Structure 1
Amino acid sequence: MKSKLSFLLLSLIFYNYAKAQTPPGFKELLDSAMVRDADLKTQQTKNKLTELDQHKLKDVYLPTLEVSGMGGYLNATARIISPELNLEPFLTIPEGKYNNNINVSGFSGLAKADAKMLLYSGGKVKQLSKALQEKRQSENVLLEKTSDDVVAVISRAYDQLALVHQSKKVLDEAKRRLDANRKTADKALGYGLITPYDHKKIELAQATLDSKIVEYEGKKQLLLTQLEVLTGISNDRLQLIEPELTAIILRPPEKTIEQRAEIRALNHGISASDFKIKAEQTWWIPKVQLMASTYYVGLYGNRIKSSNDIIPPIPAINYPGRKLDWRPTNLNIFPLLTTGIGFKWEIFDGKEGKHAIETARIDRELLQIQKYDAIRKLTLNQANNQSNYDIANSQITFRKKEKELANNALIQAEKEFRYGMSKSTQLIEAENDLESVELEYQNAIFNQRRAAIELMRSTQELDINKLY
């Protein structure tokens, strides 16, 4: 058992060590950035509110139970006017002869339990449920756009790092050539073939090149810090990345502007508005619910009395009459149960339902206007991105040809300088020209990649497998 645990521990340590020594690929950078991106997390968190609304809508059909109670002192008086009573020859009482105030006083208690359950909403809940489904799909589609934004940000930082890396290679190659030419200049100076001024020119070119190398190292550290913040991957592993810039060759787009996340989200929003209109149109349909209630009424330490006789005097039998004076220990009613089905039918609601329908229709109209405007802008954006992509491709071709010419010019200048046929000025100029066009060539590839990515985003066809 101990040997197995030791083996697992060593394997884990070796795995972590091997991972720490391996440069992260673009996929790992992107996955880490997706987890940490604040905009994406914020949008996902906000989308949970729609999910909660869906659960709340489903729960309207669940029964509700409410219990309430009350206790206190009761003092109530009822006025009773006696009716006409004719019991000849024993008793004759004209109407209104005896006016009694019946008083009830004491402590009272009341408990009540109400249960309700919606049986039929007039179709409103069904339509609202469909509207929320469309809203949720709209929010999920917008997550695709936010994800593409994260891909664009990480891709740009990664390509900038590649640009710096390639620029460093150009500068290192230029430094190697200048070092070789410096040796040639040292010999030429010793033989008196060049002046000290020409020799200093090469030294100055070397110092200028060294300063450029320091500058690019600073840019590299800044980009590594940016990637570390975006992805959470340690700077030590990011230092191991040695990316290269290659042009992205695209096929004609397979999708249209209609496939953009913004348009699809608006389509779902318009469908949600349609269901919202249908839901509001159910305002006049009766709503039905099941209801049940249970009551408990109790009176404690009470006194029930009358101000006058409740049984009048009966002279025939020599009965003097009697007032009510009753002191029950307690009096309660339980259970008092009611149950049944009730409905609510709004015949006229002061045009509130009509106004709600008009509001939903206006919301739908606004979404249609937004869709129309979005299609126009996205169509123009696609045309602009296509133009930028075509120009970027032509720039690569131009810079590549320019680099070949500059390289041939430098070879010729080196030969002439080596045989004393030209001064160091011409050599340094040729060296600077080649260095400049090589850097411009790398910049052209970087710009072409940016244009290609934006063109893919134009029709929501951004595929990271085409990037690296």
Structure 2
Amino acid sequence: MRLNIKLLHFFMALGFGMLTSVSSAQQLDPALQELISKGVEKSQTINIKKIEADQARIDQRLAKSVFLPKVTLTGSYTRLDDDITFDDDTQNLLISTQKLLIKEAIGIPFNAPLPEGVPLQPVPALQEKDIFKTAVDVDWVLFSGLEASNAIKASEHKAESLTYLGLAEKDKVALKIIEAYDKLALVYASEHVLKTTEEYLEEQSFYVKKAIENGLATPISRKKVELAQQQLEGKKLEFSQNKTLLIELLHQLTGEDKAKLAMLEPKLEDFGAVTSAEQVKRNEIKALEEAEKATFYKAKMEKSNFIPKVAMKGHYEFIEDDLSLLDPKWYVGLGVQWNIFDGNQSRLKAEKTSLESLKYQEQMQEAEEMIALSIVQAELNYESTLQNTKIIEKEIELAEETYDMTNKQYRNDLATINDVLDTLTDLEKAKFKMQESLFNQRRAVTALLHAKGILNY
């Protein structure tokens, strides 16, 4: 009796064939779409990008608020050590002037003494020692020298850049989930092959036992079968561990309950022909473009530091009694601030920001070149998978015809049961190779769609 040595090679290849994969998201089953939605919602990286975009939008609103008037209500109480008054000479001068005015009013010559009993008003203090004030102040920027306007535009483009980065992260999360999901589908496909192989080895063990009893085989043949069965158990354990690991990975990516994930029945299906859809701009490129625009307006904002700024100031005192003789009850003013020279700080900051803009331009050019290369590579891989699928279709066709022929020969006593089981195993292996081919084809399609920026999920 002979053992199918190819079986061992098949298992070795099967273990290595599960390392990487992705699947096209153009024809996703509802279960996978739900997992992607949960994964996008759970992703901390996506949530961080969303928070950063919200922060940039708040910066935009802060820049706009520069043009809104700032109204401040103030109240204060102050007690001085003494009233603030005029010096003695000034007070004497004011009293003498008051006497002259009284004499003039009652018709007394200015050099005649003032009659006794005529009351004189004391000279009021410049500021009494108890001071209570409450007032309202209005500060209103009328023209910021274009600084606020450029800051608004810079924040707007920064928010857009972060939004596109979030969309790019969504693609990455979706690709990871699709990859794990398709790997799980390949594991389930392998389990069917393992089951068939297990039945094959049981049949082999039975016939070897009978052959030994009849003196047609040696115990070595039985040991070979036992070795193959032990190797099969190792592969079954390996695929069981792969299944557990993939379920754990999907759980971490999506937050879905492990019990529900274990109930999934993913299958690898052919997507059919891929249409030559036009390439659209990737979110990564859009993010770099918006970041470059943000740095452009940031540089303009820093350069506008030398443009005069105009603001209005208003003040109104609600309590007039405690005002000093020199304090106005209200006032309105218009002011201009013109920064003539700031030690070259604004110019150097603008140059630094301009260099940042050049950096984004270089990154965009590099990214576009890498995307163009990835599209060519993905198209070539897709063509290779299509050709490989055609080859495997022929292998399945040949395996089916061989199995049918051997089965007919067995019924006519022209072949042994081992020959039938061998051809049946070859047929199952060919069918699993088709699953691997579909696995690789879905990977190539997904890579192509993602490279072109048309991956939908």
Task: Kindly report which structure 2 residues correspond to 1:238-257, keeping only aligned pairs within 5 A, or say none.
Answer: 238-249=261-272, 251-256=274-279
Shift of 1:242: 1.3
**Is the CA contact (8 Å cut-off) linking 1:110 and 1:298 kept in structure 2?**
no
The change in CA–CA distance for 1:223 and 1:288 in structure 2 (over 3 A counts) is same
Alignment partner of 1:59 is 2:52: no
The one of 308, 323, 328 aligned to 1:286: 308
Cα distance in 2, alignment partners of residues 172 and 243 from structure 1: 18
Q: Give the CA deviation at 1:38.
A: 1.4
Aligned match for 2:31, one of 7, 22, 25: 25
For the 8 Å contact 1:36–1:230, the answer to whether it is kept is yes
Task: Count matched residues.
Answer: 400
CA root-mean-square deviation:
4.1
Distance 1:118 1:250 in 2: 62
> Residues 161-187 of structure 1, C-alpha deviation per residue, up to 9 Å, x if partnerless?
100011111112223344455555555
Q: CA deviation at 1:441?
A: 3.8
Q: CA deviation at 1:434?
A: 5.8
- Residue 445 of structure 2 aligns to a residue in which SS? helix
- Within the alignment, does 1:69 sit opposite 2:71 as a pair? no
Aligned match of 2:335 = 342
CA separation of 1:344/1:169 partners in 2, compared to 1, >3 Å: closer, same or farther? same
Quick check: 1:47 aligned with 2:53?
yes
What residue ranges of structure 2 are gaps of 5+ in the alignment? 1-28, 101-109, 113-123
1:451 aligns with 2:444: yes
- Three-state SS of the structure 2 residue aligned to 1:283 is helix
How far is the alpha carbon of 1:356 from its aligned partner? 4.1
SS at match of 1:170: helix
1:380 maps onto 2:402 in alignment = no
Native 8 Å contact 2:320 2:329 kept in 1: no
Which residue is 1:305 aligned to? Answer: none
For residues 273 and 235 of structure 1, what CA distance do their matches in structure 2 show? 46
Distance change in 2, residues 1:144/1:267 (3 Å): same
1:164 and 2:157 equivalent? no
Deviations 1:224-273 (A, max 9, x none): 222223222222222221111123345354333x6011111222223333
Aligned counterparts, 1:21-170, within 5 A: 25-66=31-72, 67=74, 69=76, 71-74=78-81, 107-109=129-131, 111=133, 113-170=136-193
- The structure that is strand-richer by fraction is 1
Indicate the structure whose relative CO is greater, using CA pairs within 8 Å and at least 6 residues apart: 2
The 10-residue stretch of structure 1 (446-455 or 341-350) with the greater mean CA deviation from structure 2: 341-350
Larger deviation: 35-44 or 197-206? Answer: 197-206
Give the aligned residue type for 1:285: I
AA partner of residue 39 (structure 1) = T
Contact 1:74 1:108 in 2 (8 A): no
Amino acid paired to 1:58? K
Do the aligned partners of 1:281 and 1:353 also contact (CA within 8 Å) in 2?
yes
1:155 positional shift: 0.3
Q: 1:255 to 1:280 in 2, by over 3 A?
A: farther
Deviations 1:343-394 (A, max 9, x none): 2233444444433443343222222122122212222222222233223333
Cα distance in structure 2, aligned partners of 1:381 and 1:345: 53
Identify the residue that residue 249 of structure 2 maps to in structure 1: 226
Deviation, structure 1 residue 132: 2.1
Shift of 1:458: 0.6
Give 1:278 shift.
3.9
Please point out which of 173, 181, 197 is paired with 2:196. Answer: 173
Question: How many Å separate the matches in 2 of 1:194 and 1:422?
Answer: 15
Letter in 2 for 1:71: T
**Cα distance in 2 for residues equivalent to 1:338 and 1:359:** 43
Q: Unaligned stretches of 5+ in structure 1?
A: 1-22, 92-101, 301-329
One of 285, 294, 310 as aligned partner of 1:263: 285
Indicate how the Cα distance of structure 1 residues 72 and 430 shifts in structure 2: closer, same or farther if over 3 A, else same: farther
Match of 1:324 in 2: none
Matching of residue 272 in structure 1 with residue 294 in structure 2: yes
Partners of 1:108 and 1:444 lie apart in 2 by: 93
- Percent identity for Structure 1 against Structure 2: 27
Tell me which amino acid in the other structure corresponds to 1:270.
Answer: E
Structure 2 vs 1, CA of residues 438 and 197 (structure 1 numbering), >3 Å: closer, same or farther? farther
Residue 26 to residue 282, structure 1, CA distance change in 2 (3 Å): same
Write out per-residue CA displacement over residues 30-86 of structure 1, whole angstroms, 9 at most, x where no aligned residue: 11111111111111112111111122122112221332635243466877888999x
Aligned partner of residue 358 in structure 1, secondary structure: helix
| 2:456 paired with 1:460 | no
1:11 corresponding residue in structure 2 = none
